[in-house]
A = this chain, B = another copy of it.
Amino acid sequence: MTEEVMIGRLNHVAIAVPDLQAAAAQYANTLGAKVGAPQDEPDHGVTVVFIELPNTKIELLYPLGGNSPIRGFLEKNPSGGIHHMCFEVEDILAARDRLRAEGARVLGDGEPKTGAHGKPVLFLHPKDFNGCLIELEQV
């Protein structure tokens, strides 16, 4: 075990929503936040709306295409819900190796993928982290 700092800023909280237009309008109008235009990300199987808060972002996710990774989540949670949260790290390979050494499971083959922001990302197993899906993004 080490006490060295690894995770940095909370980059975003991602929320899967059943109606993207309604959710975006709600954040813009009811909650009064700065809401961007929908962006299709075919490589990630989602359409995303970014909500810019003063200190972090909320990302509204809606399925795009037949193999969207959030389709199953929305089937289980028809009203939507928080899908994952993303922490920034400086060195994603060092982070991965430290996590594995501590016994935490990294999803997939452990090789970082290019995430929705064009940066290397990994996801950690929710069962190892209090039921929360955690994304690490190298910044």
Contact = CB atoms under 8 A, between A and B. Distances in A.
Interface stretch (A64-72, A109-117, A125-133): A125-133
B127 A79 contact: yes
A130 to B, nearest CB: 3
Interface residues of A, number: 48
A99 B29 CA distance: 9
Identical copies of this chain, number: 2
DSSP class of A's interface residues: helix, strand, loop or mixed? Answer: loop
Contact of A98 (B18, B32, B127): B32
Interface of A: 1-10, 13, 15-18, 23, 26, 28-34, 53-56, 58, 60, 77, 79-82, 85, 87, 98-99, 102-104, 126-127, 129-132
